[in-house]
């Protein structure tokens, strides 16, 4: 009887532990599928002055989610040249959105692209920051001929503005 009681206690303990483990992991199973994912990457970390970096943000979210990508000059100290919506892929109840930004810099040095904010259903998610090196472009003035600055030239004043003003006055008098 004592042996049966201790065996019963062991089975009950194992069952309780297993049940507790399943209940602990159960919320994570469904939650991991609906959690949006944001990934940022750059095509290079070193450019010459004036060259462009392609900065890509990829968002994987629920198809009903409202996604807002960074807008304007948020990549400072680099300048945004262009921003295009590259791709949208639908897969059942999920959507993958991708936006590519063309960035550049006209001064040499090492710059950090700050973390960007992607808003998904009013929740802000930050991307990683990236360190970019901008190299000088060597100009060889011994092989390239240099020219003097050209002087200013006189330009005749246009009379088109005068005729347009006279026409407006005439129309005003008629009406």
pLDDT tens per residue across span 45-81? 999 999 999 999 999 999 899 999 998 889 999 999 9
What are the tens digits of pLDDT across the range 80-130? 999 888 778 888 889 999 999 999 999 999 999 999 999 999 999 999 999
pTM here is 0.61
The rounded percent of the chain whose pLDDT value lies above 90 is 46
Residue 30 confidence (pLDDT): 46
Per residue in 107-116, pLDDT (tens digit) is 999 999 999 9
CA atoms within 13 A on the CB side of 139: 5
Identify whether the C-beta of residue 108 lies closer than 8 Å to the C-beta of residue 136.
yes
Which string of DSSP letters, residue by residue, matches 82-120? EEEEEEEEEETTEEEEEEEEEEE-SS-EEEEEPPPEEEE
Residue recorded with tokens 């040499």? 108
């Amino acid at each position: 009887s004592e042996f049966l009681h201790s065996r019963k206690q062991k089975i009950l303990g194992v069952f309780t532990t297993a049940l507790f483990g399943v209940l602990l992991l159960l919320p994570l199973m469904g939650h991991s599928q609906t959690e949006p994912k944001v990934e940022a990457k750059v095509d290079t970390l070193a450019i010459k002055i004036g060259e462009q970096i392609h900065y890509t943000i990829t968002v994987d979210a629920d198809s009903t989610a409202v996604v807002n990508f960074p807008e304007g000059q948020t990549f400072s100290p680099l300048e945004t040249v262009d921003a295009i919506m590259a791709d949208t892929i639908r897969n059942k109840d999920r959507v993958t959105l991708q936006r590519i930004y063309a960035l550049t810099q006209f001064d040499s040095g090492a710059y950090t692209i700050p973390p960007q904010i992607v808003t998904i259903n009013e929740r802000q998610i930050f991307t990683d920051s990236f360190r970019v090196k901008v190299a000088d472009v060597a100009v060889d003035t011994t092989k390239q001929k240099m020219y003097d600055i050209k002087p200013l030239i006189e330009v005749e004043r246009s009379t088109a503005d005068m005729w347009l003003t006279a026409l407006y006055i005439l129309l005003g008098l008629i009406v």
